Amino acid sequence: MSEGGTKEQSRRWFLRAAAVGGAVAGCFAHAYAWTRSLVPNVLYEPPKKRKLGAPTRFPEGPTYLQEEKIFVVRTGATLRALSAICTHLGCTVGAEEKGFHCPCHGSSFDDKGVNTSGPAPRPLPWHPLTLRAGTLIVDLGAEVGPDVTLDAPLPKRKRRSRRKGTNK
Ligand code: FES
């Protein structure tokens, strides 16, 4: 066999291997694209309805819940849920003696969540509360007026023992 024939065979082998390799790579790319199309492009978010536990765990006044970014406000036997997200640029507001204050740009809100000063353009939203099987549930995806409340049992007070000198 001549040297030119060997070079020709080598070139043919290379071209054939490149064609087969390209075809296999194309099949894998197509299979990946098809498989990926079965998985939807969805942004998974936490559920809007959250369990908050027993209503008796909330004392009088506002209680901040960091995970939900809300205040559960108890007034006697009624509960309400107020968003702690400032309506200006979304900072977390803090509770004060009479209302709420945003530390970022100084907006103030009264005890009903109404903006009273600063750049906040609107009141803090209230979220509906429901009681299911003894568990308080807040719906962060819905809003209600500030006068919508939920009647809930009061926290249990610790009893003082009247008996003295007993170990029971
Ligand atoms: S983010 Fe609250 S005042 Fe700007």
Neighbour count for residue 109 (Cβ, 10 Å): 24
Spell out the residues 6+ positions from residue 61 whose beta carbon is closer than 8 angstroms to its own.
73, 74, 95
| Beta bridge partner(s), residue 130 | 137
Separation of alpha carbons 89 and 94, rounded Å: 15
Q: CATH top-level class for 49-151?
A: mainly beta
pLDDT of the residue at 43: 81
pLDDT of the residue at 166: 44
Which helix (H) or strand (E) element contains residue 87?
none
pLDDT of the residue at 2: 57
Q: If you take atom 1 of ligand 1, which residue's CA is the nearest one?
A: 89
Pocket of ligand 1 (CB under 6 A): 86, 88-89, 91, 102, 104-105, 107, 118-120
Most ligand 1 atoms within 8 A of CB, residue of 69, 107, 117 to mutate: 107
pTM for this structure?
A: 0.69
pLDDT of the residue at 167: 45
The domain segmentation of the chain, as residue ranges, is 1-43, 49-151
pLDDT of the residue at 99: 94
Question: Cα dist. 8→1, 16, 71, 167 in Å?
Answer: 11, 12, 81, 104
Structure tokens at 10: 């080598």
Separation of alpha carbons 92 and 28, rounded Å: 49
Separation of alpha carbons 70 and 62, rounded Å: 9
Most ligand 1 atoms within 8 A of CB, residue of 91, 92, 124 to mutate: 91
DSSP 76: T
Atom of ligand 1 nearest to the CA of 93: 2
H helix runs in the chain, sequence order: 3-37
- Tens of pLDDT along the chain (168 residues) come to 456 667 788 888 999 999 999 999 999 999 999 998 888 888 888 889 999 999 999 999 999 999 999 999 999 999 999 999 999 999 999 999 989 999 999 999 999 999 999 999 999 999 999 999 999 999 999 999 888 888 877 777 665 655 554 444
pLDDT of the residue at 160: 60
Å from CA of 45 to ligand 1 middle: 24
Atom of ligand 1 nearest to the CA of 102: 2
